[in-house]
């Protein structure tokens, strides 16, 4: 953001949920292992009763909002006052807000009111920041990248740490795509996928996010835009655990878990990536559903209902976005050898494989190759299609 674009009263926000890993990483980075922060037994004997996250851990996100939002690139944060009003704990969701109070045109300095709120909208930290903006001289910038990256394609794989997702990330990297690897909780698995992806000479990064939280999704897309570039292809491989529940025992919560992940999550994701896709008149959105829509199995009603909904969502979306050059298609796998089927009895898997014309179950790479095809220019006249990858288990 250029200095001239900043106006008094301008407000920016970011949100983050404090995790146990955040606290552990902060301890490892700073060496501050104060028992009030890390020892539940010690904290239980204080007025706080439970461990308290480091005050500066929360305050560090002020740096994030200054460096990425307001002012953004070129921000030199040189002064900050802080008042810590309330404790922040693991699992608290904080919102960091920066408001422009005044500008010094002669020095290009911006003064910001910085506030951190918890999930109850209570102020936990407040202060004043002063930031000098260092702008580039476009005529003499010797660090500018001369390479034209306008045709570079960045793929965001939701559920990139899972079985189909990880295979998709690697296959996309082999095809030359830069890859953003999303995970929900398993950061170690995502890091492992990234290590494999970068071996193919492409850019890659990981990002943890609950796709059912709109602000988390917005922050993810904004952060990825800065870290790896605007998303040109969105691949959604996300699926919750699929417990086998008989119909009389079903609760609405069983449906809601799947519907929120599939429909609400996809809504937030598409809305977040859409502006960049529309600006380029190009984009690809690829949803992974399931062959069980076409050939249901017992005790999977919430899962099949949500996947059926997202197939309809995708077809309607394809109709709306096709005129804008944004292609929406679906891949529908049969049973695939991933962790999701770890509780399916071996005999049941063998019977299904025997009934399949190809006499085997799918492996993740079978699905990934079709996703790569849809992400590539070879599929630029496919819109609203469902490609079934099930070895012939369902033929329509």
Give the residue from 75, 104, 133 where a domain finishes.
133
* Residue 127 and residue 162 in one domain: no
Q: So what's the pLDDT on residue 345?
A: 60
DSSP letters for 40-97: HHHHHTSTT-S----HHHHHHHHHHHHHHTSS-TTEEEEEE--EE-S---TT-EEEEE
* Residue 89 and residue 230 in one domain: no
18 in any annotated domain: yes
Q: So what's the pLDDT on residue 349?
A: 61
Rounded-to-integer distance, Cα 174 and Cα 138, Å: 35
- Supply 98's token pair: 């920066």
Indicate the angle between helix axes 214-227 and 265-280, nearest 10 degrees.
Answer: 40
* Torsion from C-alpha of 374, 378, 384, 386, nearest 10 degrees: -50
139 in any annotated domain: no
Residue with tokens 């996100």: 61
Check whether the bond before 71 is cis (ω within 30° of 0).
Answer: yes
List all residues 6 or more positions away from 85 whose beta carbon is below 8 Å from its beta carbon: 122, 123, 124, 125, 126
Q: So what's the pLDDT on residue 337?
A: 66
* Residue 239 and residue 307 in one domain: yes
Question: DSSP label at 260?
Answer: I
Of 389, 371, 392, residue with least CA distance to 156: 371
177 in any annotated domain: yes
What's the domain count of the chain? 2
Q: So what's the pLDDT on residue 53?
A: 95
* Torsion from C-alpha of 286, 287, 288, 293, nearest 10 degrees: -130
> Do 235 and 286 meet the contact criterion of CB atoms below 8 Å apart?
yes
246 in any annotated domain: yes
* Residue 381 and residue 245 in one domain: yes
For residue range 24-38, list pLDDT tens digits in order. 999 999 999 999 999
* Residue 48 and residue 93 in one domain: yes
Q: So what's the pLDDT on residue 255?
A: 95
57 in any annotated domain: yes
Rounded-to-integer distance, Cα 117 and Cα 86, Å: 9
- Supply 303's token pair: 């899962």
List all residues 6 or more positions away from 35 whose beta carbon is below 8 Å from its beta carbon: 42, 43
188 in any annotated domain: yes
Q: The domain spanning residue 194 has which CATH number?
A: 3.40.50.720
Task: Please provide the distance, in angstroms rounded to a whole number, between the alpha carbons at the two ends of the chain.
Answer: 52
Q: What is the mean pLDDT of each run of 10 residues along the chain (396 residues)?
A: 89 92 93 94 93 94 92 91 95 95 93 96 96 72 39 89 93 96 92 95 94 93 92 94 90 95 96 95 95 87 95 97 96 76 62 72 88 95 94 78
* Residue 115 and residue 211 in one domain: no
Give the domain range for residue 175: 154-389
Indicate the angle between helix axes 214-227 and 55-68, nearest 10 degrees.
Answer: 60
* Residue 80 and residue 177 in one domain: no
For residue range 340-386, list pLDDT tens digits in order. 655 566 666 666 666 777 777 778 899 999 999 999 999 999 999 99
* Residue 51 and residue 110 in one domain: yes
Q: Side by side, which strands form the sheet with 178-183?
A: 204-208, 178-183, 154-158, 233-236, 283-288, 326-333, 386-389
* Residue 272 and residue 368 in one domain: yes
Angle at 379 between CA 330 and CA 312, to 5 degrees: 20
| 354 three-class SS | helix
Q: Torsion-angle region of residue 33: left (phi > 0), alpha (psi -120 to 50) or beta?
A: alpha
For residue range 247-266, list pLDDT tens digits in order. 999 999 999 999 999 999 99
334 in any annotated domain: yes
Rounded-to-integer distance, Cα 164 and Cα 333, Å: 10
Q: The domain spanning residue 52 has which CATH number?
A: 3.10.129.10
Q: So what's the pLDDT on residue 352?
A: 67
Give the residue from 104, 133, 162 where a domain finishes.
133
Q: So what's the pLDDT on residue 143?
A: 37
* Residue 129 and residue 163 in one domain: no
* Residue 163 and residue 117 in one domain: no
Rounded-to-integer distance, Cα 377 and Cα 381, Å: 9
Q: So what's the pLDDT on residue 339?
A: 62
Give the residue from 73, 98, 133 where a domain finishes.
133
* Residue 303 and residue 359 in one domain: yes
Q: So what's the pLDDT on residue 175?
A: 95
Q: Torsion-angle region of residue 49: left (phi > 0), alpha (psi -120 to 50) or beta?
A: left
Burial 194-205 (b: 16+ CB within 10 A, else e): beebeebebbbb
Of 168, 83, 205, 158, residue with least CA distance to 365: 168
> Do 186 and 160 meet the contact criterion of CB atoms below 8 Å apart?
no
144 in any annotated domain: no
């Amino acid at each position: 953001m250029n200095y001239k674009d900043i106006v008094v009263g301008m407000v920016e926000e970011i949100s983050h949920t404090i995790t146990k890993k955040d606290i552990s990483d902060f301890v490892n980075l700073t060496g501050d292992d104060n028992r009030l922060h890390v020892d539940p037994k010690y904290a239980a004997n204080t007025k706080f009763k439970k461990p308290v996250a480091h005050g500066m851990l929360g305050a560090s996100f002020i740096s994030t909002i200054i460096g990425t939002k307001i002012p953004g690139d070129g921000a030199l944060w040189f002064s900050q006052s802080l008042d810590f009003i309330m404790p922040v704990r693991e699992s608290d969701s904080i919102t960091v807000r920066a408001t422009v109070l005044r500008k010094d045109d002669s020095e290009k300095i911006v003064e910001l009111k910085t506030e951190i709120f918890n999930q109850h909208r209570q102020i936990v930290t407040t202060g004043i920041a002063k930031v000098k903006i260092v702008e580039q001289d476009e005529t003499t910038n010797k660090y500018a990248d001369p390479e034209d990256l306008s045709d570079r394609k960045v793929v965001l794989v939701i559920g990139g740490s899972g079985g189909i997702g990880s295979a998709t990330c690697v296959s996309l990297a082999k095809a030359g795509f830069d890859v953003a690897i999303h995970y929900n909780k398993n950061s170690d698995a995502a890091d492992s996928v990234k290590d494999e992806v970068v071996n193919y000479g492409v850019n890659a990064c990981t990002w943890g996010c609950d796709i059912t939280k709109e602000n988390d999704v917005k922050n993810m897309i904004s952060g990825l835009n800065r870290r790896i570039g605007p998303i040109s292809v969105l691949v959604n491989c996300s699926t919750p655990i699929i417990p086998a529940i008989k119909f009389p025992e079903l609760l609405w919560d069983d449906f809601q878990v799947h519907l929120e992940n599939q429909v609400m999550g996809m809504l937030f994701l598409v809305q977040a990536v859409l502006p960049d896709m529309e600006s380029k008149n190009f984009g690809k959105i690829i949803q992974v559903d399931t062959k069980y829509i076409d050939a249901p199995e017992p005790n999977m009603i919430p899962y099949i209902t949500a996947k059926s909904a997202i197939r309809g969502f995708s077809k309607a979306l394809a109709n709306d976005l096709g005129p804008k050059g944004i292609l929406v298609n679906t891949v529908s796998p049969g049973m695939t050898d991933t962790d999701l089927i770890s509780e399916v009895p071996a005999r049941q898997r063998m019977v299904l494989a025997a009934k399949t014309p190809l006499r085997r179950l799918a492996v993740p790479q079978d699905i990934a190759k079709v996703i790569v095809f849809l992400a590539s220019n070879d599929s630029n006249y496919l819109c609203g299609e469902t490609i079934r990858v099930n070895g012939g288990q369902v033929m329509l």
